[in-house]
Amino acid sequence: MFLGEPPPTQADLHFRLFGIPVRVHPFFWVVALLLGMGGRKADPLITLIWVVVVFVSIVVHELGHAFVQRYYGGRPWITLYSFGGLASCDDCDRSPRAQILISLAGPFAGFFFAGFVVSLLVALQRFEGFELDWIPVVWTPFESPPLEIGLRILMFVNIAWGALNLLPIYPLDGGRIARELFTLGNPRAGIIQSLQLSVGAAILVAVYALTRQLFFMCIMFGFLAYGSFQTLREYRNRWR
């Protein structure tokens, strides 16, 4: 998910995974650290666990996109920065079917990752069941606090963030899927309809977050609603 690519910096970290180039912009670490420290009592160990788990989880998500991009003949690369990641590619298949599957592959890579960890919990006889919550998996808690906290963060990021990412809001994965589906149904007005849906859905999520006192989420979806609204206005002006 998320906007355009930031320009290269000297502090970029570069490596390859399964032949796919990955670049980590320094802001990725800055934002991950700030989010990791927020709300908790800035315990250094917990913050470190948070940063590592978020890093691994976002790489898994972007690899999901990149594998399907490669399946469709593209040459993908991954960029991690500020709020998340981006899987870009050259020669990518722009057909709606390919684009929808590429967008779905990110969140589902996270769901499979969480599913793999759940299967480990089952093997360890610690799995207790599912519930409707931000961390929808219940297990017998581990005595080791770092392990228990790392597991909670892993489930939260891979399941809850993945699910939020599927909401039909720009520039989340769900917003891209909605755009493809709407333009399939109506090539002329599809983009505008998907932007209208994006504004409405983002406002609903922001209001929901406010009622639950999830202020960071409220601000974030408020920004997304505003961004979609601006894009919608630009489209309308262009078509007039």
Residues in contact with Zn ion by CB under 5 A are 1, 106, 173
Q: How far is the CB of 108 from Zn ion (least distance, A)?
A: 10
Shortest reach from residue 47's CB to Zn ion, in Å: 24
- Which residue, 173 or 180, has its beta carbon nearer to Zn ion? 173
Residue with smaller CB distance to Zn ion, 54 or 149: 54
Minimum CB distance to Zn ion, residue 216 (Å) = 19
Nearest distance from C-beta of residue 109 to Zn ion, angstroms: 9
Contact by Cβ (8 Å): 197, 175: no
Distance, CA of 1 to CA of 107 (rounded, Å) = 10
Q: Which C-beta is closer to Zn ion: that of 106 or that of 150? A: 106
Dist CA 65 CA 77 (whole Å)? 10
If you write DSSP's letter for every residue of 160-180 in order, what string do you get?
IIHHHHTSS-TTSHHHHHHHH
- HSE-CB for 157 with a 13 A CA cutoff: 26
d(CA 29, CA 34): 9
Residue nearest to Zn ion (CB): 106
- Which CB sits closer to Zn ion, 1 or 137? 1
Q: Are 156 and 119 in contact (CB under 8 A)?
A: no
Residue placing its CB nearer to Zn ion in the complex, 46 or 102: 102
Cβ distance 121 to 137 under 8 Å?
yes
Give the nearest distance from C-beta 68 to Zn ion in angstroms: 11
